[in-house]
Structure 1
Amino acid sequence: MLNSLKLKASVPVLAVSVALLGACQSNTSKQETTTTADASAPADTAAKKPLSQPLVRDIYTADPSAHVFAGKIYIYPSHDIEAGIPENDKGDHFAMRDYHILSMDSINGKVTDHGVGLDIKDIPWAGRQLWAPDAAFKNGTYYLYFPVKDKQDVFRIGVATSKSPSGPFKAEPTPIAGSYSIDPAVFTDTDGKAYMYFGGLWGGQLQRWQKGTYDAKAPEKEPNTAVPAIGPRVAKLTADMKHFDGPVKEIKILDENGKPLLASDNNRRFFEGGWLHKYNGKYYFSYSTGDTHLLVYATGTSPYGPFTYQGVIMKPVQGWTTHHSIIPIKDKWYIFYHDTQLSGKTWLRNIKVTELKRRADGSIETITP
């Protein structure tokens, strides 16, 4: 993220056409492969021409965390598999077990699959469900942050390190102390301070942490009433990027009147998949609304918030989940996201990318997939 942020400071915003990207061929070893899609790839199931095409066709990928490291685009996605587990609101059917790391030299270049960067069997404390990761760089080391259920079936967040952005990554022996829930996203500010944003409702277990400790008896879902919505979490990271530097804080997301969004406001309240980026000195916190399938955003003047709701970034895609990242690449901004164009199944997704456009006042134009 540090490299990405250095690029952000001088990025002008241009209105250009969407760039489509090449596909890649799966490789479960560390050996790299670079290729485009072939006739044996799964048939597209979308009823109409999609906004953009899948970046990868030979494996299923989701939750793309994109960064520019050493002048190249690296993508850290989830790796979806067919686990044969029935669908439920806890997300047990999302039973991923490893991460493939992808890269490309340019936004319309071919994709290289660097193979498995981290496997669940190499995480000493892990139980099951290796969900959406993120990555960061500092002082010559690359960091991969990942949520996975521990052996007590509670989501924690771990960190793994590598001297290469393509891995392989070696996991720390224990999760980050004080971490919980899912969807870590690490933002390094222009002053060098780094923050982790995390949290997800329902299967992400955030609703079970409202008393400061994990409550196994708490409801499976958050209250859907006129009470303040459960907010995402933020924690400052230590200089070594492996620990929390201070307490975990709940982020407030406010409406246009400065009041907290309500739990019943399903079109605007936070559900999962938080991401922070900075543009013209302002902090943009974007996230998924979950069961209403929107990507939305709020803005603020501090990395801790509060953030005021601004609008919709992307309307619902094909599939249930919505998860994204937003980065500048050269003179444009892009949003990486996923849908289910290749499989038509909500747990077998494919990552995509399209241009993110802004108005003169910095507000984000809504994308209709």
Structure 2
Amino acid sequence: MISYNRKLISILAWASFSAVGGVCQNTTTPASPKPLVTDLYTADPSAHVFNGKIYIYPSHDIEANVPQDDEGGHFDMRDYHVYSMDKIDGKVTDHGVALDIKDVPWAGRQMWAPDAAYKNDTYYLYFPVKDKQDVFRIGVATSKSPTGPFKAEPAPIPGSFSIDPAVFTDTDGTTYMYFGGIWGGQLQRWHTGEYNASLKTDLGKDNEPALSAKVVRMSNDMLTFAEPVRDVQILDKNGKPLLAGDHDRRFFEGAWMHKYQGRYYFSYSTGDTHFLAYATSDSPYGPFTYQGTFMEPVTGWTTHHSIIEFKGRWYIFYHDVERSGKTHLRNIKVWELKRKPDGSLELIKP
């Protein structure tokens, strides 16, 4: 989550640009997609293909009547639903509540963006939630069905922290988790390796390397980390780390990993500037070389996405606030993701 005042300035600036025709050209599709879910507010959609069908694991926005603040206190989500689609333009089925905060023994509040994975004949739901000391940890719950219900482990993953878990299984069967989010996501509070509640933001350090997302290999049972957590280093074309003040390019939150023709594509949200950007590497650990923006700002406060291949075509799942106009009541959408012959991602202008 990010500074509301800073984000509002970004939204207003983008709206002014849009009003004069700046975002209406060269889009990858001719019209804006419609919300996939209209009876609930949903956001942060993590999409996966299991058994030839698309399953979506979003967060569930609610009107909790919590005052808005810079750390996202008004995003007070309490459960997860799972959705499925047989085809991109087909019916979206709601499979009901897959996990509720009351069924997570160690949880305190705020169930934010989840992800899912399949291995060992088991489906795993990974979720960030604040513990009873108000510190974000990452939990895991299991099910024999991709739609749940999921049963949470009695404690968070040892050594886990911050938000936005994204789980990627490579072609060799090795699974990695990417995670982290600045400000409300508390990543900056772990900068020294120990939790420091006084570190509210990472501002004032514009000339230092930006805070990094994290990556870690998962254990074979998918319930713990198999190694110490590493930084996801993002470099510019000259091999220098992106700086904290480089708000149009630096990592902020919402990591995702996909692989295309042997290359690893690490994509993420720039947070307070509201772009989706990506960087590539020959290794799932990186370092990653920044390649550019592939999606310009949507309406709303946050940007959080996932990317999948389905029946030979690539798609991006994301959210905006078309239905409510409120930053904490969002709706998920899907759009085709296209590539240039060299594998680079074409720019989407929603």
Would you say same fold, with TM above 0.5? yes
| Conserved 8 A contact 1:201-1:222 | no
Is 1:202 the equivalent of 2:196?
no
Q: Following the alignment from structure 1 to structure 2, what is the Cα–Cα distance between the partners of residues 127 and 221?
A: 25
Q: Following the alignment from structure 1 to structure 2, what is the Cα–Cα distance between the partners of residues 210 and 259?
A: 20
Match runs of 1:129-148 below 5 Å = 129-148=110-129
| Conserved 8 A contact 2:320-2:330 | yes
Which of 323, 327, 350 does residue 342 from structure 1 map onto? 323
Match runs of 1:127-206 below 5 Å = 127-206=108-187
List, as ranges, runs of 4+ consecutive aligned residues in structure 1 with deviation greater than 6 Å. Answer: none
Which of 317, 320, 334 does residue 353 from structure 1 map onto? 334
Task: Report what 2:291 is aligned to.
Answer: 310
Task: Report what 1:117 is aligned to.
Answer: 98
Task: Report what 1:229 is aligned to.
Answer: 210
For the aligned residue pairs, the C-alpha RMSD in angstroms reads 1.3
Percent identical residues: 71
Task: Report what 1:287 is aligned to.
Answer: 268
1:87 is displaced (CA, Å) by: 1.6
| Conserved 8 A contact 1:207-1:222 | no
Is 1:363 the equivalent of 2:349?
no
Count of aligned pairs: 324
1:313 is displaced (CA, Å) by: 1.1
Q: Following the alignment from structure 2 to structure 1, what is the Cα–Cα distance between the partners of residues 83 and 153?
A: 22
Question: Secondary structure of the equivalent of 1:354?
Answer: strand
| Conserved 8 A contact 2:278-2:291 | yes
| Conserved 8 A contact 1:90-1:220 | no
Task: Report what 2:13 is aligned to.
Answer: none
1:216 is displaced (CA, Å) by: 1.2
User: Normalised by the size of structure 1, how large is the TM-score?
Assistant: 0.86
User: Normalised by the size of structure 2, how large is the TM-score?
Assistant: 0.91
Q: Following the alignment from structure 2 to structure 1, what is the Cα–Cα distance between the partners of residues 31 and 338?
A: 18
Task: Report what 1:64 is aligned to.
Answer: 45
Q: 95-104 vs 217-226, which deviates more?
A: 217-226
Task: Report what 1:45 is aligned to.
Answer: none
Question: Secondary structure of the equivalent of 2:32?
Answer: coil
Q: Give 2:104's aligned amino acid.
A: I
1:90 is displaced (CA, Å) by: 0.2
Question: Secondary structure of the equivalent of 1:183?
Answer: coil
Question: Secondary structure of the equivalent of 2:280?
Answer: strand
Partner deviation per Cα, 1:57-106 (whole Å, 9 max, x = no partner): 01000000000011110000000000111221100010000001000111
For residues 65 and 352 of structure 1, do their structure 2 counterparts lie closer, same or farther at Cα, with a shift above 3 Å needed?
same
Match runs of 1:99-110 below 5 Å = 99-110=80-91
| Conserved 8 A contact 1:236-1:246 | yes
Q: Following the alignment from structure 2 to structure 1, what is the Cα–Cα distance between the partners of residues 316 and 220?
A: 29
Question: Secondary structure of the equivalent of 2:184?
Answer: helix
Q: Note the residue ranges of structure 2 that are not aligned, 5 or more in a row.
A: 1-26
| Conserved 8 A contact 1:314-1:367 | yes
Is 1:82 the equivalent of 2:47?
no
| Conserved 8 A contact 2:28-2:348 | no
